[in-house]
Structure formats: C-alpha cells, structure tokens
Structure 1
Amino acid sequence: MAAPPPPSPARARAPRRPLRLAVALALAALTLAAFAAVTLRLQLEPNVASLLPERGDAAALRRYVRGFGGGDLGVVMVKGDDPDENAAVAAEIARALAARPTVQRAADRVDASRALDPWLAFRHADARVRERLAAALSPEGMRERLAETRAMLLAPGGGAAAEAIAADPLRLAQLVFESADIGSGVRTQADGAFATDDGKVHLVLVQPAGQALRGADARAFVADANAVLDPIRAAHPRLTLGLTGGHAIAAATEEMLTRDLAVSSTLSMLLASAVFALLFRRMRALAAVMPPLVLGTVWTAGLATALPGGLSAIAVAFMSVVVGVGVDTGVHVYAALLEARREGLDPEAAGRAARARTFRAVLVAAVTAAAAFGALALSDINALRQLGLLCAAGEVLTAIAIVLVTPAVGAWLERGAPPPDAPARWPDGLYRLTRTRGRALALAALAALPIAAVALGAAPPLAEAIVAIRPAELEPLKVQQAIFDAFGGRRGQWVVLLADGEQERARARADRLAERLASMKADVEAVDALTALAPAPSTQAARFAARDALDLPAKAGELERALRDTGFAPERFSAVLDGMRSPPRQEVTLADLERGPASILLSRYLGADGGEALVALYVRPRDAGSVDRIERAIREEDPKAMLTGYTRLEASLRETLAHDMPRIAIVAGALVLLALSASLRSARDVALAALVVASEISLVLLLIRAIGIPLHAYDALVIPVLLGITVDEGMFLLHRARDIEAAGGGDAVIRETLRHEGPAIAATALTTAAGFAALAFCRFDGLRDLGRVGALGSAVGLVVALVVVPAGLRLWPRPHRRA
C-alpha cells in the first residue's frame, strides 16, 4: 500500500492561519486598549512626596507636603529700583488677582498695627512676655513706662500717637507684640506692605481657590495669574515680576515632566534607531523591530495609567529605558533570521527558526533584566518603585512583542536573497588581545583592579539629593530663591509637625511647643507659629487666667495715681481704667482671622492628612551645635511631634540609600545569579558572567567619581539594576561560545564567538546606552543623572564583556569531547 503523499506547503500552513489571526486580533485589541488608557488616563504627578522616602524625617516631610502642599500660598514678586512704582504695581496686581475666579484672596499688605485692647493683648503673651507685663503693672513699672510715654508725646511728631496712647498709656500691647519670641512669619513695613526695607522688592500673597496637587487647579491658577501679570509686565518693562508658591511649582513641574517625557522618549527612539542602523547595517530591520517595540512600550504605558496618583518624576524615565533595552531583543531575533536565510531556509521557515533559536535566550535575558528592575520595588521611595515595576514589565512585554512580531515581519522583508555574511573587522582586534594565555591573564587582572579599588574605598561619595528633588531650572524655584535673598533669609528652617484627631488639641500642643522653643534663645534663632496670630482656646484661657491672677481691678487705683503723678489727666483714660476694673475676656478665633487680612496666612499653619488635623510651626536653629538640644527639647515637650523639613532631608535620603542599596543589590544579584545558572548551566560560564558584572559595576563607580556625576538616592539605586541590564552581553557571548565548543572547540572558539556575536552585543549594549543617554536631555536633575549613570554603565558593560569573556575562555577552556 502506497504511503500517503506529504501535505502540500499550502495545506501545512492552513492550520496556522486561524491561530495567527487570533494572535493578531488579540494584539490589536490589547494595543487599542492601552493606547486609549494612555490617551485618556495617564497623569503626571507633580507632587514631590513621591520622591521622598517613607521612613524617618522624610516620612514626616511626605505628610507635610500632602497636608500643606494642596493649599499653599502663591507669591508674586515685584522687583525694581523705584519703591513707589513697586508699591503701586503690587497693589494693582493684588486688586486684579482678587477678581480672578481661581483666587480666593490676594493682598499686598496686611494690618500689622496690632491695635488691640491692652487687656486682651494678654491672650498673645507667651511666658517671657507675661513676666514683662507683670513688671510693667507694678507701681514702679507703671511710672517708668508712663514717663517714657510722656517723653514720646513731647517729642517732635509725637502727637500722631496720642489716640493710640489714650487707649493704652502703658503701651502693653506694644510690649506684647514687640517683645514676643514667636512670630507669625509676616515681614511688613510700617504701612503693612510686604516689602523689603528699601522697597525694592514687594510681594503679593495669593490664596488660590483650588488644590496645588490637582493638575487642573494648578494650571488654571497659573493661567489666571499670567493673564494678570503679562500686561503689567508689558506696561512696566523695568520691573521684574515672578510667580512662585505651591500651585506655580506644581504646574511648572508638570510642564517640565511632560516635556521630559516627550523629549526623552522621542530621542531614545531616534538614538536607538540610529545606533541600530549604524552597527547592524540593515536599515530594513528597523521596520521589523521598531513596530513591536512601540507595541510593548504602549502596553507598558497602559500599565502606568493604573499607578495611583500618577507617574512620578523619576518614573518618567521608564519609556526611554524600555526603548533602549527593548531593542536588544530585536537585534538578536533579526540576526538569527538572517543567519537562517543564509543557511538556505525559505523566509517563513527562517522566521520560525529565528523564533525557535532565540526564544529561550531572549526571554531569559528579558526576565533577568526585569528581575533586576523589579528589585527596585524594595525601595522606600515610591518613585523608584514605580520605575522598577514599569521597566520590569516593559522588558518582558517588549521581548514578547518582538518575539511574536519581528520574525513574521522580517520574513516578509527578507524574501529576496539574504545579504552576504560580512563580519566586522574590529572583533579580530579583540581576539588578538587574548591570543595568548599571558595576555589573557593580564586582561583578567586588569578587570579585577576596579573591584579591588572599590573594595579599598575608592567608590564615589554621595552628593546632595535635594537638587534631584527640587530642580534648579524650575522658574518658580528661582523666584523663590530671589525672594529668599531679598528678604535676608537663609536656609536651615525646620518644620515641626503635629497631628491630632482634633484641631484644637493639635493647636494647643503646638502652642506649648512654640513657647518651649522660643525660650531657648541660645539655640533657636526664630520660631514662626500660628499662636502669634490665634492661640488655641485652651492657651488663651490659660493666659487670661494668668492675667486675672495679677488682680487687675486692685491695680486700677494704682494706675490712676501713677497717671496723675506723671502729669496725665486720669479722666482722659477712663476707658482704660474701666477695662482694668472689669477685664474683658474675648478670645480670638480662626473665624475672626478668616474674616480679616491675616486669613491669607492660615494655610501656612493648618493642614489635614489621613483624617487628622495638622498644625505646623517653623523653627530656625542658630547653628549646628544647637541641633541635638532642640531635638531633645521637642521630644521632651511632645514625643509625638514630627521634626522634618528640606534641610533635614539629606540625612534621611542617605539613610534610605544605606537601607535600600544592600537589599536591592542582594536581591538583584541573587536573581541574576539564578538566571545565569538556569541559562548557562556551567560553573565556568556563570563565574565569567559574574566577573563581568562585578568588574563593570566597580569600574562604573570609579568613572562616576572621575567624571563628577552626582551620586544620590535616585541614580545610585539604579546601579544594582545594571546587573540585570548588562549581564546580557556576557551571557550571549558565552551562549555562542558553548555552541562553537560543542561543534569542535579549539582556538576558533574565541575568534568565532567574537566575530559572530560581538557586533550583535555591541548593537544591543549601545542601543541601551542610547536609551539612557536620551534622559541626559531632561530638565529634571534626577532624571538627567539617572540617564548618565545608565548610559555609562551600558557602555562600560560592553567593553568589560568583550575583554573578560575572551580572556576567561582562553584561561579556562572547556575540554573538547572527541567522538
């Protein structure tokens, strides 16, 4: 009986067509869904809280940013040489801004006169001021102060103060407010204007209607503010007008991140494509590699839309990294396709062969890199966790997309005669470097030197991470610094944060803490707290009780005699004497402040987060020696108080780096080692691959120090990730060497490995470097530093792999099995 004829090629392909159609439809649906999610839902997070660790002082700063960042005051700076013009323009801006729909209040001045019933002024008197008030109300103190009052009235121009003195002849209110150790953060001139002493800088304080951390609110406020400021700039070209504050910073940060995302992703595509075309020397291959790479990137961006709060500043880097690293898979798959065509396979069979030959290696490489990126999920910094998870997902998704799509597209592109195998010449030069065991031993020793240098302490020191959080190029931050310089401020302010379920209780705790800190004159330069404007009800009650303990009604007669003895007519001060005989007890409330000009300052002190009321007070230590004593005083007075601030953040970031780096490095290293063991299955090969990454990381650290790249929490934690990214080069060289050794071995192993695999890994490494290098064009400092470190690591990893692997193969050859 005759054997049945073999199925025709058309009939053999027929069962695959429904499967291909199903796969194509699934990919199209997934892509459309991801694209729609990116278009409609992808948000950038301008909130700096995502860049802060979740432990120590930084955790408290995260809470402060969340609780107070939303309702931060806006500030307009008016700077010019003519004080009168500055004042007039500031007043004009305040009036115009107050009329805008996104502004609740705007003021260029506040009533700073503190005109107040002297017997009510006690509610604002801290402990030291109460001592001075008691002394002023003694018989001797009354006469001394009345004599000073009389001298003031007799001085030239003294008559202008007659009305104020009639209401307060002992000038007790002046004593309260001028002697207070606790300020309200308001620096004004005699007329209440927010201005420097020379009048060359005026400020307008603005309370926006929306939340700074809502992008739409921040953008709307900035648009309204610019609509007011732009025509005024044109009318007063000699003046410098600037806008800062939470809304302005958030809007500028979001704009910067949007620009950085667009620029870096576009540049990464262009640079990676250029490097690919230059090294791979097959332009049409881009048409097979780039579309699935875009698919994988879009799928990853779709996942980014699920991030709560939006995409943070550092996580914006994911797109450039995914593009740069993702091209690696395309290089290997397309190279395998061309190799199969040269072997005589038809295009479709070559596509299947390329997928079969590379599937395991490229997916293992992708999973290895993804595992290293995934180790960033252990970080205490949310932005780095986002970056790690997105890059890990992007690595795997782009690899899957390329393995599925590139062989099919490549098979269609390579229907003609395959290009001749034209090996590059430079691998032969590398081969000659390790042609003898002596040369190989010298190169191996050279590769070990960076490891020894780092072990002996040559690693770069940590730089300041504050720059990475607060970009120097952000215009509102420049305005903020200009205001800081003009008003004679200096860095070093701390924030003491108190959280409580009841706002009044939190305010009372803040009042007690403010008094304790204000009493530490040797250690504390300034205390800025809400208690200067509106003490808590319990604080006011205690101060009124202290006033009543002085027995003011009994002292009224003594004041009457003192007035007469110093030349005053007591009957002209009948209102003061009546108030003294029956002291008023009217408390100032937050509602009172909200109805007056000082309402604009409330958002500086009161916030909310997580269902709790927050109260902030601000402290400036005198010097570094005061730090421990201030911290101890805060712990003693209120153990639950949180001490934070940007000036204290550096230590917290260093602590986070010390906490995160070992964990991430150990996990990334262990995952990479497991992946190498599973893939290479040879102690020699695993040892060589491990030596490649160890030497590479050490050399990168030395070069970071030599070049002067700032090393901080946001780029240092990417260094362990290089373990997974750059291990590919050594792994693919060793895979090729193993295949050649199995076929015959001998001296040809090194030469043929470099000749056939060298150009491919050069293309993969340099496209990865190109993806990272695109980040160097970002305006955000943290992204720029991250990109420089990643690009450097990718390039160094290539060089080390091309030197160490051939040297290892020469020094540690695998015995050839004879048939």
Structure 2
Amino acid sequence: MSEMRWSERFEAAMGSLAARSHQRPWVALFVTLLLTGLGTFCARNLTLNADLVNLLPRSFQSVQDLEKLRTRFGGMGNVVVAGIGAEPEQLKQFVDDMAPRLATLSEVRFVNYQRPSQFFEQHALYYVDLPDLKVIQDRIDARFAWEKEQANPLFVRLEEAPPPSLDFSDIEQKYTGGANQRLSGQGGELYYLDPQERMVVMLLKAKGSSADLGYSKQVISQVQDFLSKQDLSKYGPGFRTEITGTFKKKIDQQGVITGDLARASSLAIVLLLAYLAFHFRSALSVGLTMVPVAAGLVWTYGFVGVAYGQVNLLTGFLAAVLGGLGVEHGIHLLGRWGTLRSEGLSSVDAVREAFKHTGFSALISALVAALTFLSLSLSEFRAFHEFGVIAAVGMLVSVASYLLILPAMLGLVSRWGWTPRQHQSQSGPVAMLARFLPRRYRAVSLVLGVALVGLISQAYRVTFNYDSTKLDDVTLPSVRLDRRIDHILGYSATPVVVLTDSEKMEREVVNQLQARKQQSGKDSTIDFVGALEDLVPQQQDEKHALLQAIHKKLARIDPERVAKETRADLVRAQKMTQAQPFTREQLPVSLRRQFEPATGQKGGVVLVYANVSLSDGVGTRRFTKEVRNLQLSDGSQVSAAGEALILADILDMVAKESPRILVAAVLSVFFAMWMTLGSLRNALICMLPTLLSIAALVGLMALLGLQFNYLNIVVIPVLIGTTVDAGVHLIERLGGPGADFATVYAETGKAITGGLLTSAIGFLALVFAKHPGLNSIGDLANLGFAVNMVVVLVGFPALLLLVDRWRNKHGATTSTPGGDEAQHPAPES
C-alpha cells in the first residue's frame, strides 16, 4: 500500500503543477522560450556522420589500428577516374594525357595508371626458387646438348624424339598468384583497360582520408573541376568521364542518408499533422498537440549537441520517431481534457484531473520507454548506445514539455473563450469494437490465441542478414561503377593493411599470412599478399650467377633453328636471363608508392587482398579471423587494419549483445511498471500484449522472409518501450471506480489507436527511404506496430473480459481491471 500512496502523491503533484501552469501561462511560456532558445543554440552545429568507424568505441583494437593506418598511410581507398566510351587506343591516349596532370593536383599524392607488367616480366626468374632455377638450367643444358648433336653431321639418332622443351610454364605455374604476378596483371594489358566495356581507369591516391567527409568533398571537387576544364572531344564522340572510389562513394552515400532523413522528417510532420487534423477535427487542437512536441525536440537535440556534437546513422532519424511518440501523449492528454470539459468541469479542474491521472499514465509510459531505451546504452556499439541515451532523454523531455506548455496554452485559449469540439465517443470503429467485444470475447480470444500460437511457433526460423550490401544503396552510379573496377584490376581495389616497422617485420608478416592461406587451402579468404620487401626476392646474387650461366647457353642457340611454336619461348627466356638484380628503390615508382607511407611518416605496410566480397558479412568475418592476431618472433602481435575489420566487429558485437540488451529491456520495463503501478499483477498484465506481439512479429518475419540486420535489430527494444503504455492506459482507466467497459474502451481505445498510429508515423516515413538500412528499420517497425495494434485493441481486451467473467462466474471477490459483471453488457450466448 505504501507504493500506492506514493504514486497517489505523485499524481496529485503532477495535477497541481499543471494547474499552476494553467493559471500562470505567461510564466510557463517564458520559461519555454528560454529553454527553446538554449536548445537551438546548442544544436546549431549538429552534423550527420555515417562513417562505420564512428559506430564503435575508440577502445576497440580495430578502431585504433585504423586510426594509425590513416595517420601513417592516409587511409585506404582511391579516387577512381574512369574514361568511358572510346576505342582502346583513344582510351590509352586519354590516360597518357591526363595522368601526369592529375598527379600535380594539390590533394593527389600520385596516380596509378599502368601495371608494372614489363618490370615483373623481365625479372620473373628472380622470383623462382634456386632449386627450380637449377631445373630450368638442366632443361636448357639438355636442349643445348640436343642442338649440338643435331649440328654434328656424324651423329645418327636411332629413334625420332622431340627436342627437349624450352617451355618453363610448369615451373611458372608454381608461382602463379604471387603479388608480383597479380599486381602486374599476369601478362595482361599494360593499362587498366577493358576493351569490351570500352573503359579505362586511373587510381588517384589522395593525401587525406575518406573518413573526413569535408576532405572527401574537397578532393572530389578538385578532380571534378579539373576534368570539367578538359577538351574531351578529341577522344571520340560520346566519350565521357566518371568518378568513383572510396571518396566518391562516401559522399554519395552520405547524401542519400541526409536526403532520406530530411524527407523522413518532413513526411513524418506532414503525416502527423494530417492524422491530428483527422483525429481532433480542429486546427487549434493540432497546434496544442504539436507545439510541446516541437519544443521537446529542440531541447532534446540541444542535449545531443552538448553531449555528442553529431548524430549517426541511427540517431539521425530519431526526431521523426520521437515526434510520433511525443504526439501520443498529446492525444491522450488533450483528449481527456476535452472529455472532462464536456462533462462540465472548468478548464483548470479539467487540466488538474487530466494530468493527475492521464498525465501520470503518460509519465509511466515515458519512464518505461526511457528505461527500455537505456538498456540499449549498455551496448558498446556506439550507434545503439547513443540511440538509447538520446531516445531516453527525448521521452522524458517530451512529458516535461507537455507538463510545462500544454496547461499554459489551454489556459490562454480558455480565457479567449475556446471550447473543445464535442466528440461522439459511441461512434466510429473503436466504439463498434467496444460494443462487439463483450458479446464475442470468447470467439475473439480463441481465434487470436490460435493465430498467435501459430506465429510464435515460426519464430525460430527467423535469420540474421550479415550482408552489408543489403544496407547500402547499391543503385548509386558511383557504387555500380566501383563494382566494375575490381573486374578491370583483377583484384580488390581496397585491401586491408598490416602496418610494419621494419623490412624484417614485413617479410615475417607476409610469411605468416601465406602460411595461413596455405593451411586453409581452398577455404582461405586471402587472395594474395603484397609488401615491398616481399617484392624484392632473396638470394639475388646466387640467382644472378645462375641466370648468367643459363643466358650464355641460350645465346648460343640460333632462334631460326628452333621450331616456330617454341621460338617465342626461346626469345623470352633469353631476355629474362639478362635481367639484373634490383633493390626496393629500383621497383617501378607507380608500384612502390602504393606501399609507401604518407609524407613525413615512417614504416611500411603489407597489403592483404581478399578473395571474398568485403561487403558480405559472413565472408568478412572469416577473412578477419584469417588476418588478425599475427604472432611475431619477438613476442609482439599485429593485426590487419581496414574498414572490413570494423564491419566484422560491428556484426560480432551486435550478435553478442542483442540477447543481453533484449533481456535488459524486458526486465527494465517490468520493474519500472511494477514500481510505478504498485502492483505485480497489473505490471504483468500490462506487459502481456507487448511480449505477445513481439513474439508474433518475429514469427511473422519468418513467414514473410524478412531478416534482422545490425540496424533494424534496434526496433525490438523500441517496440517494447513504446507499445507497453497502451496496456498501462487501459488498466489505469478500466481499474477506476465504476468504470464501464464500453465507455472507457471507446474513449481510451481511440487514444491508443491514435498513439500507435502516430508512433508508427515516424517509422512509416523511413519506408520510403532510398537507403536500404533505414528502409528495413521502417518496414520492421511498422509491421510491429500493426501486430501490436491487433493484440492490444482486440486480443488484450477480449482476454480481460474472459478473465473477468471467469472470475465472476467462480465467485472471486476481486476482479481483473475492467469492472465487475454489472458493468458490462451481457456475455455472448
């Protein structure tokens, strides 16, 4: 009973505060103006940051490694300039003309536009191990001996046999896939050109990092401005240029997200205004509901500006969601105030009574939702953590704004003689349900019960989608073009990187990664590994001496006396054995620069190229395990760095934390309602429709083929926190003295319907987003609200009636909230 007395005192305090604000409206509105001005000032510099790196805490090794990479290496990725729509010779001329000039741009470190194929072709035998070189020497000796025999007129061969081959392709095959061959194109085109696509590309390495959106815009603008001033007509009719790569894709994807959030917020406002106009049939009522919501959002984002300074992919659309959730309080409060006024109460008494009971219910639901959102703050995933904190603050601020502003506004409009429109509570769909349910509650309970059991039985089939390409807008021109680049290069344009401090460390890292690749066999996710130290073969002096000896013998073989089909092999072998030893500094400049740190930085890198898509979460997680935690001989440990590892950590974190967060959300809701309602039984009853609808939603997802992902999984705790208040409002009203089911349900059910619809509106706007990740959040949330609406408006009241009639029939002394038998129409026959 002590909890009940506490709650009653709190109810009375809320009613008194509202009445005081009603009686002194100008004071309350002046305070509102000050708080709104402060919120606007604090939120003025808020920006959207959609970079995946910002979704993980700085303590993560993958984040720290990536920051080191960006400092030392300038980050990964390129600005890719593509020339499209010309013949191969014209495309090559375009590259020859543009590459040197693009390299002079202030934000470009270098331009990679040709493969180092000639260098690696010439020095190919230096990459062959000494034992295999001796095999080659033995074959040449055999051929030389055969040639001598053929030249001897006295020699008679008893059996016709083919001459010893000068083809070394079987030995070359052993070294296929090495970095020298892959980076050189393995004997292919010198330029990065695809004749069928009629496209050639240049890879521009920028001085800065693509993580800095402002810098990305600067370097892309510089390249675009340069290209716009060139006369491209000389490369043929229809020739054009396009830009893609990491920098361009980040700008375009940021633009999509920003546009989606702006459209979602605008659409949410329009839909909210339209629904409120339909709900209240009064423009002034719409204004009375929306002004506290708008003020609350400004206060909330003022807090965000102070606490975080930016919003991420998830928190960016919270304005639309919080707007819908906040309007729900206004529907309940204004609707209750209007009903009390129509019953003859004065404006101040109606305000006191509405905020005493309905306002307290709104506070309970806001507190419960806030605690549910705070369960997300337990996550190390910053997107979830910040979403939880901001949403929790927003829910409490929303109730505070209504408590401060709505009574004051009602006080003013009452003085001006405004009275609310009289509503016919006994008409409309909800009123029809109010009359139907007491007559058919058994059938309704049975049908919905069977349906819920059927849906819940399918919940185990729902799956998690790890493919991040499903969460990005792959229809963007820059994204579509980027996918064609890897095909032209012959390998991934964005490898992951292991930072090294010495040449010895480079070679050791390469050896370990190659050993892991060999150990995994065909299941390995590593395509190839490259490092400058590895591109400079060992034992070059010994190999050079052997190659000189081979060359002397090859030089004595007359190409004209060799069969035509092997003549090219002989000429090629003669050239390859002439190659001289080389050092790191003698590697082609275009190749060497790919491995060199940014200006002023020291150390080297090992580039690790994947043979799986680094947008596919499953493949990325496998790849991550293969390139992490390399144990060096000095006892130290190093790992690869790159955005692929960030994605893998995000997926692992969401998979690991989701069960814990969901349990925390359910428990926080339960204990919050238990404490505020003062009744364990009522808390369990209020939670029942939410838990059933969540379980049914998961089963429905399995039937519809919908999947969870690392973004839309946040919808589940959101639904828990935002749908439980419907049960609170029903229980609070039906449990009142002399409550009549039909009357209470018609009034409260209409408010609940409006609340659920306005809560869904914020998410409904995301259904029309271009970004698939935001789109999946909208789809899942609205499906959840639809399921909850059926459960809470049809199934839950039918269950309350069923339990109440059963208890009355068996002579129970207490009843379920909703009144006794005399308060209901006759049960169904």
Pick the TM interval, shorter chain.
0.7 to 0.9
The SS at the match of 1:203 is strand
Per the alignment, residue 595 of structure 2 pairs with 602
Deviations along 1:653-674, whole A, 9 cap, x unmatched? 6654442222111111111112
RMSD across aligned positions (CA): 4.8
Of 436, 452, 475, the residue aligned with 2:477 is 475
Counterparts of residues 470-549 of structure 1 (less than 5 Å): 470-485=472-487, 498=498, 502=501, 504=503, 506-516=505-515, 523=522, 527-531=527-531, 534-535=532-533, 544=538, 546-548=539-541
Of 786, 790, 794, the residue aligned with 2:781 is 790
The SS at the match of 1:717 is helix
Deviations along 1:436-456, whole A, 9 cap, x unmatched? 4x6336426624642564245
Question: Is 2:685 the partner of 1:680?
Answer: no
Deviations along 1:357-403, whole A, 9 cap, x unmatched? 43322121111112212222233432222222222221121221122
Question: Is 2:299 the partner of 1:299?
Answer: yes
Of 457, 460, 463, the residue aligned with 1:461 is 463
Q: Which amino acid aligns with 2:693?
A: E
Distance change >3 Å, CA 367–CA 108, structure 1 → 2: same
Deviations along 1:104-143, whole A, 9 cap, x unmatched? 333432543217996xx88x73xx544433444x5x3564
> Cα offset for 1:214?
1.0
2: CA distance, partners of 1:16 / 1:751: 33
Counterparts of residues 161-240 of structure 1 (less than 5 Å): 181-183=178-180, 186=183, 192-196=190-194, 200-230=198-228, 235=233, 238-239=238-239
Deviations along 1:4-49, whole A, 9 cap, x unmatched? xxxxxxxx99998998666545543432233233332x12213123
Q: Which amino acid aligns with 1:196?
A: D
Counterparts of residues 43-442 of structure 1 (less than 5 Å): 43-50=47-54, 70-80=75-85, 82-114=87-119, 125=127, 129-136=129-136, 138=137, 140=138, 143=141, 181-183=178-180, 186=183, 192-196=190-194, 200-230=198-228, 235=233, 238-239=238-239, 241-306=241-306, 310-414=310-414, 415-423=417-425, 424-436=427-439, 439-440=441-442, 442=444
1: CA distance, partners of 2:513 / 2:145: 34
Deviations along 1:611-658, whole A, 9 cap, x unmatched? 998643124379x99x99997898787694547988899987665444
Counterparts of residues 516-665 of structure 1 (less than 5 Å): 516=515, 523=522, 527-531=527-531, 534-535=532-533, 544=538, 546-548=539-541, 550=542, 562=553, 566=557, 587-589=583-585, 596-599=589-592, 601-602=594-595, 615-620=606-611, 640=637, 642=639, 655-665=652-662
TM-score by length of 2: 0.77
Question: Is 2:752 the partner of 1:761?
Answer: yes
Per the alignment, residue 811 of structure 2 pairs with none
The SS at the match of 2:776 is helix
Q: Which amino acid aligns with 2:432?
A: G
TM-score by length of 1: 0.78
2: CA distance, partners of 1:711 / 1:187: 42
Q: Which amino acid aligns with 1:82?
A: E
The SS at the match of 1:434 is helix
> Cα offset for 1:458?
5.3
Distance change >3 Å, CA 455–CA 334, structure 1 → 2: same
Per the alignment, residue 572 of structure 1 pairs with none
Distance change >3 Å, CA 265–CA 634, structure 1 → 2: closer
Q: Is the 8 A contact 2:690 2:724 kept in 1?
A: yes
Q: Is the 8 A contact 1:268 1:771 kept in 2?
A: yes
Q: Is the 8 A contact 1:736 1:753 kept in 2?
A: yes
Deviations along 1:519-572, whole A, 9 cap, x unmatched? 6795369743332xx116xx96xx54x345x4966x69956863675469xxxx
Q: Which amino acid aligns with 1:732?
A: H
> Cα offset for 1:763?
1.0
Q: Is the 8 A contact 1:350 1:411 kept in 2?
A: no
Deviations along 1:300-337, whole A, 9 cap, x unmatched? 22333356584222322211111111111111221233
Q: Which amino acid aligns with 1:772?
A: F
Distance change >3 Å, CA 715–CA 332, structure 1 → 2: same
Counterparts of residues 8-23 of structure 1 (less than 5 Å): none
Gaps of 5+ in 1: 1-11, 151-168, 569-576
Q: Is the 8 A contact 1:102 1:210 kept in 2?
A: yes
2: CA distance, partners of 1:45 / 1:487: 31
Higher mean C-alpha deviation, range 511-520 or range 294-303: 511-520
Deviations along 1:237-261, whole A, 9 cap, x unmatched? 6345332222112211221222122
> Cα offset for 1:723?
1.0
- Percent of aligned pairs sharing the same letter: 20
Distance change >3 Å, CA 634–CA 70, structure 1 → 2: closer
The SS at the match of 1:39 is coil
The SS at the match of 2:712 is helix
Q: Is the 8 A contact 2:66 2:642 kept in 1?
A: no
Higher mean C-alpha deviation, range 296-305 or range 669-678: 296-305
Q: Is the 8 A contact 2:260 2:769 kept in 1?
A: yes
Of 693, 696, 699, the residue aligned with 1:699 is 696
Q: Which amino acid aligns with 1:279?
A: H
Per the alignment, residue 9 of structure 2 pairs with none
Distance change >3 Å, CA 705–CA 418, structure 1 → 2: same
2: CA distance, partners of 1:254 / 1:323: 23
Higher mean C-alpha deviation, range 329-338 or range 106-115: 106-115
The SS at the match of 2:48 is coil
Q: Is the 8 A contact 2:328 2:756 kept in 1?
A: yes
The SS at the match of 2:474 is coil
Distance change >3 Å, CA 658–CA 629, structure 1 → 2: closer
2: CA distance, partners of 1:148 / 1:255: 70
2: CA distance, partners of 1:62 / 1:687: 47
Gaps of 5+ in 2: 1-16, 149-165, 560-573, 805-813, 823-829
Distance change >3 Å, CA 556–CA 226, structure 1 → 2: closer
Counterparts of residues 725-804 of structure 1 (less than 5 Å): 725-739=722-736, 742=737, 744-745=738-739, 749-804=740-795
Distance change >3 Å, CA 300–CA 635, structure 1 → 2: closer
2: CA distance, partners of 1:433 / 1:54: 57
1: CA distance, partners of 2:97 / 2:58: 44
Aligned length: 744
Deviations along 1:59-103, whole A, 9 cap, x unmatched? 799779968783421112223352233333344443553343333
2: CA distance, partners of 1:221 / 1:522: 41
1: CA distance, partners of 2:198 / 2:212: 34
Of 31, 43, 57, the residue aligned with 1:38 is 43
Q: Which amino acid aligns with 1:478?
A: R
1: CA distance, partners of 2:147 / 2:199: 34
